[in-house]
Each structure stands twice: as C-alpha cells, then as structure tokens.
Amino acid sequence: MRMKARATMVALVPTLLFAAVGCSSTNTPATDKAPDPKGSAATASAAPGAPAPSAAAAGSAAPKTGGSRLERSALAQGDLPGYQISAQGKNPNAPDGQPQADKKACQPLADVMGDKPSPSARETVSRGMGSQKQLGLAVSASVSSYSEADAKALISRLKAAVAACGTGFTAKVEKQTGAYREVRPADYRTGGDESVSWTMTAAAEGVSAQVHLVVVREGDTVVRLTALNVAAAPQQKAQVPQEVADKQLEKLRQVRQAG
C-alpha cells in the first residue's frame, strides 16, 4: 500500500489492526513497545522477509506465570514460529473506544472492531502479530473475559448481524469513519464451544482492503481473531492463519487446566 493508504488504516479498521499493520512491516523482533506508526508498511511488498525465530523459540511455549489468567492466556513472542508478536496489542495513535454503526442491526459488527469485542467484556488482552512467512499479513488476537451468559449472547448477536448486514454499514470512532461492505459469512474450522466467522471489505478515502474475523467462545472467554493483508491487492482474500487460531485456543486451555 502507498503511504497515504497506510494513513487511512486507522479509519478502515479503527482500533485493532492498526497495531498489527505496524508489526507486520518490521524486520526486528517484537518488543513490549507498540510498533512505530511511521514504520515501513508502505514498502512491505518490496522488503525481504524477516528471519524466522530461533529453534528455541519455535516450540510450544508454556504460559507465563505472571499476570492475570487472561494475560497468561494471550499469545506471546515465541509462541508461534514465523510471527512477530507485540505484547502491546494496540498502537497509541489508534483511536479509543467502541465504533458506532449507522445501522442498529450492525452494531455488534462495529463493536467487535473496537477495543473489546463488546461493551459487556470484563477484561480484554490484545496482541498484534506480523507474519514473517506471508509478507504484509497483519493479524490481531485478543482474549476477553465475560459472564458465560454474556459470552453466549455475543456469539448470537454476531451471527444475527452477519446475516442482516450483507450490504454493509459505516462505523465511526472518535472523528474517524470507515465503511464496511460485502459482509459475508466464512467457513472456518475452530475448536471452542461455538464460533462465528465472516469477511468484509473496509474502505475509506478511496482505499479498500478485505478483513477476516473469527470470534470463538470457550466457556466464559471469547477469542477474537482478525486478519488483513496490507501488501495484497484489495480484491485478494485475507484469512486468519489456522495455526494462529489453534495456538491461541491451545494456550487458553493450558492456562485453564493449570488453574
């Protein structure tokens, strides 16, 4: 994407993927600092891929012992070979809060693009990821705690919204507006108790990109996964890598079993 196109990414995907876009374009290991908003995403298509993590980091990393259960459940650097994972899942230049949709039926789809999957989330921990295998692929993963009833209701609302909002909607967060069109359910294999997956095309200022979202409920915890390819043509499909979804759910279960 051109530099101007990258500048519109905040409006396209209001809060989540802006962090992952920066993460996907850097050739240095991820740190606990947010990616530089003036990074090299505009030249990602020409840059060589970053080296894969060392063999020591490539295994199934044990959950961290510090922090809350949710923090220990979130992906960390070293959990997934071939990915740079930012422990801070949001760029400080991204807008705050939950986007507001122009159509009531589509509000759940706007909410899920915000700081948390829905306002009823008790806690949310987010991660931004850049693929070293597929240059330009930006992925975000978050885990959120709910009451089990609220988690079930979220999945139901998202399924209804995907069915009702095929023609699209617009959403505004702070002073930035993005348009989302061609909302389509997508087949995607996950574990968990139940899940919903869909794609949509985000557009602003003449720039568009396809976004893929997967939301999975595991008991009272909701996993949200989002993918966008910042180096691909607008019509090229984006998909959450299966290995990311599998690893996030595996780590969530490991932490649950550890107590």
More confident residue, 220 or 202: 220
Among 172, 155, 165, smallest CA distance to 101 is for 172
Q: What is the pLDDT of residue 87?
A: 72
Q: What is the pLDDT of residue 54?
A: 30
More confident residue, 56 or 76: 76
**Burial of 19 by CB count in 10 Å (0-12 exposed, 13-18 middle, 19+ buried)?**
buried
Whether the Cβ atoms of residue 40 and residue 198 lie closer than 8 Å to each other: no
Enter the pTM of the model. 0.78
For the residues 215-233, what does the mean pLDDT come to? 88
Whether the Cβ atoms of residue 58 and residue 243 lie closer than 8 Å to each other: no
Q: What is the pLDDT of residue 228?
A: 87
Q: What is the Rg, in whole angstroms, of the alpha carbon atoms belonging to the chain?
A: 17
Alpha helices, DSSP H, located in the chain: 3-7, 9-12, 17-24, 69-73, 107-111, 148-164, 242-258
Strand, helix or coil for residue 100: strand
For the residues 17-32, what does the mean pLDDT come to? 41
Q: Kindly report which listed range (73-77, 83-87, 101-105, 141-145) carries the lowest average pLDDT score.
A: 83-87
Model confidence over 99-108: pLDDT tens digits?
Answer: 899 999 999 9
Model confidence over 30-55: pLDDT tens digits?
Answer: 333 333 322 222 222 222 222 233 33
> CA 46 to CA 234: how far, in whole Å?
17
Whether the Cβ atoms of residue 44 and residue 136 lie closer than 8 Å to each other: yes
> CA 193 to CA 131: how far, in whole Å?
27
Question: What share of the chain in percent tops pLDDT 90?
Answer: 48
Residue type present at position 74 = A
